Amino acid sequence: MILKEKEILGDMELHQTRKVIIDIQGLHKSFGDNRVLNGFDMKLYEGENLVVMGKSGSGKSVMIKCLVGLIKPDSGYISVMGKEIEKLDQEALDVLRADIGFLFQGSALYDSMTVRENLEFPMRRHKEKLGNITDTEPFVLEALKSVGLEHTMELMPVELSGGMKRRVALARAIILRPKIIFYDEPTSGLDPITAKEIIGLMRSIQKKYGTSSLIITHDVDCARVISERMILLVDGINYAEGTFHGLMRSDDEKVQAFFKK
Amino acid sequence: MAYISGTALRMRRFFIEIGELSYFTARFFKVGIRPPFEFREFLRQCYNVGNRSLVLVLVTGFIIGLVLTLQSRPTLIEFGAVSWMPNMVGISIVRELGPVITALVCAGRIASGFGAELGSMRVTEQIDAMEVSGTNPFKFLVVTRIMATTLMLPLLVVLGDAVALYGSALVESFKGNVSFQLYFSKVFEALSYGDLIPATIKSFFFGFAIGLVGCYKGYYSKKGTAGVGMAANTAVVFTSMLLFVIDFIAVFISDIFYEL
C-alpha cells in the first residue's frame, strides 16, 4: 500500500512544476534471501530537500548507494539528472558523480590524509569541472569556511571530534560544487547540539549553492527541520509520501510508528 | 558424516577463495596497465613498505647470520671443514634463508598492515567515498601497494642478506680469527649467478604475493570491525603458506635448470 492521499501530500502539487532530477522506478535489491528493496519508487525535484525515513536495515543506504552506482540493483530504473545509471560506462558514471556530493554515515574521511588532502582528493579527477585549476587552495579554503573549519586544514582526521569530522566531510561533499547532495544519516552518532549544527549547515549550504538534497535518516527531529517532503521506506517500498506534518497527521499505524518517541 | 560435510565445506571455501584470488590477480593486471598511473601514491607506498620493514629485516638478518654460524661451527669443526663456513653460510643465505626469512618477516608486517588498513577503509566506507569521488580505489589502493611490495622486497632481501653475512663474518672473526676481507672473498668465490638470479626472481614473486594477499584480504573485508582483525590475521597466515608454495615451485624450477 502506498499512502498518497490528498491530506498526506499536503502542498505536494507544487512539485509538479519542478524538474525531476532523480527518478527511481521499481527498484529491487536482495542480498541472498534478504529482500531489501522490493519495488521502491521515488522522485527528487530540482532544489528540494527530500527526506527518506526508514528503520535501521530497511534499505535506505542501499537505495542511496544504488543511485551513485556503488551497488548494482537487481532490477528497476534509476535516472539521475536525465542519465540512466545502468547504461553508463565507468567514465560517464565518474563524470556524473562530479555533480553529486555524498556525505557518508561515518564521515568516511581518509585516515592517512590531512584535512586539506581529503578535500583535494575529489579535485584530482575533476579539475576540469572547476576550470582546470592549478591552485586548489582557494577552493579548499572556501569549502572549509562554509563549515567553519578553515583552521583545521593541516590536521589529520584522528585529531578531529566526531562533529568536526562530519563538517569536514560536508566540506568535501561540496568542494566540486555539486548539483545534488546525498546525506546518509547526517546526524547519527552526534550529540543533539552538534546534530543541530550539522542540520543548520546543511540548510545554509543548500541556500548558498542551490543544491537539491536527498537525506536518508531515522532522526525525526532532523526530518522535521530539513524536509520539504518525506518518503517512508517500509518493507522495501515507498510506503507513504508527503510533508512532515501531513504524514504526522496520518492515522496509519506504520506511519505513526515513525513519529512515536 | 558431520565431519565429512564439514571438511567438504572447508574445501569448497578454500577453492572459492583460490578462485576469488585469481580473479583479483587478473584485475590487478587489467587495471594496473591502464593510465592514469598513481605514481605519487606508488612512491609513498614504496617508502612505507621499505621504511616500515627495514629495521625488522636488518635485525632478523643479523641474528640469523650469527645463529647459523654459531650453530654450524661445532659440526664443521668435527669434520675438519670449518674453512668452508663462508661458502656454506653464503650459499644458504643468498639462495634460501635470506629471501624466505625476509619474506616471512615482511608478511607479518606488511600483509597484516595492508589487511587491517584496507579492511578498516572498507568498513568505514572510505573505499566507497573514493569511488564516489571518481578515483578508482582498486588502482589507487591495491595496484600501488602490490607494485610497491613487488619492487621493495628484493631490495630488502639484498639488505637482509648483506647484514646476515656480516653477522656471520663477525662470529668468524671472533671465534675463528678470520678477517672480514678473507671471509667475504670466500663468500663471493662460492657464489655464482646461478645462486643470485633465481633468488632475486623468487624475491619479486614473494613481494607480489605479500602485497596481493594483504590487499585482497583487506579489500574484501566484511563483518565490521571483527572482519578487520580477521583480514589482518588471515592475510598473514595465507601469505606465509603461499610463500612456501612459491618457494617450493621456485626451487623445483631452478633445480631443473641446474640439471640442464
CA distance B39 to B178: 47
The whole-angstrom distance between A76's CA and the closest CA on chain B is: 21
Residues of chain B found within 8 Å of residue A98, distances taken between Cβ atoms: 134
Instruction: Give the pLDDT confidence score for residue B35 in this predicted structure.
Output: 83
CA distance A220 to B188: 76
CA distance A160 to A209: 26
> Cβ contact (<8 Å) for B128 and A124?
no
> Cβ contact (<8 Å) for B128 and A70?
yes
* Closest by CA position to A36, among listed A69, A3, A75, A4: A75
Kindly write down the DSSP assignment for every residue of A159-205, as one continuous string.
GS-HHHHHHHHHHHHHTT--SEEEEESTTTTS-HHHHHHHHHHHHHH
Domain-wise residue ranges, chain A: 1-94+213-261
Here the cell at position A73 is 540493483
The domain of B6 spans 2-259
Listed in order, strand segments (DSSP E) in chain B are none
Which one-letter amino acid corresponds to residue A99? D
Listed in order, strand segments (DSSP E) in chain A are 20-31, 34-45, 49-54, 75-80, 83-84, 100-103, 180-184, 212-217, 229-234, 237-242
Residues of chain B found within 8 Å of residue A70, distances taken between Cβ atoms: 128, 131-132
CA distance A167 to B152: 38
Instruction: Give the pLDDT confidence score for residue A102 in this predicted structure.
Output: 93
* Predicted interface score ipTM higher than 0.85: yes
Site from B37, B44, B133, B222 to mutate, A interface, most A CB atoms within 10 angstroms: B133
Q: Give chain B's domain count.
A: 1
At B136-185, the pLDDT tens digits run: 899 999 999 999 999 999 999 999 999 999 999 999 999 888 899 999 99
What is A1-94+213-261's CATH topology? Rossmann fold (3.40.50)
For residue B233, how many other CB atoms are within 10 A of its CB?
14
For residue A187, how many other CB atoms are within 10 A of its CB?
26
CA distance B223 to B122: 10
Q: Are B206 and B246 in contact (CB under 8 A)?
A: yes
> Cβ contact (<8 Å) for A97 and B134?
yes
Q: What is the DSSP letter of A130?
A: G
Phi, psi of A78 (to 5 degrees): -130, 125
Closest by Cβ to B135, choosing from A108, A111, A125: A125
The whole-angstrom distance between A106's CA and the closest CA on chain B is: 6
Residues of chain A found within 8 Å of residue B130, distances taken between Cβ atoms: 110, 121
Please return the burial class of A31, using the count of CB atoms within 10 Å of its CB with bins 0-12, 13-18 and 19+. exposed
Here the cell at position B200 is 632475486
Instruction: Give the pLDDT confidence score for residue A16 in this predicted structure.
Output: 58
**A194-198, B4-8, B123-127, B199-203: the lowest-pLDDT one:** B4-8
Highest mean pLDDT among A46-60, A134-148, B56-70, B227-241: B56-70
**Stretch B73-95: mean pLDDT, rounded?**
91
Provide block-wise average pLDDT over 10 residues at a time, chain A (261 residues).
Answer: 48 65 94 91 92 89 92 94 91 89 92 93 79 82 90 94 92 92 90 89 87 91 90 92 90 86 64
* Confidence band for B91, pLDDT divided at 50, 70 and 90: very high
Instruction: Give the pLDDT confidence score for residue A184 in this predicted structure.
Output: 93
CA distance B173 to B179: 6
Instruction: Give the pLDDT confidence score for residue A4 in this predicted structure.
Output: 54
CA distance B202 to B194: 13
Residues B56-83, buried b or exposed e (16+ Cβ, 10 A)? bbbebbbebbbebbeebbeebeeeeebe
CA nearest to B36 within chain A:
A125
Residues of chain A found within 8 Å of residue B125, distances taken between Cβ atoms: 104-106, 108
pTM for this predicted structure? 0.87
Instruction: Give the pLDDT confidence score for residue A74 in this predicted structure.
Output: 94
* Closest by CA position to A110, among listed B203, B117, B25: B117
Q: What is the DSSP letter of A149?
A: -
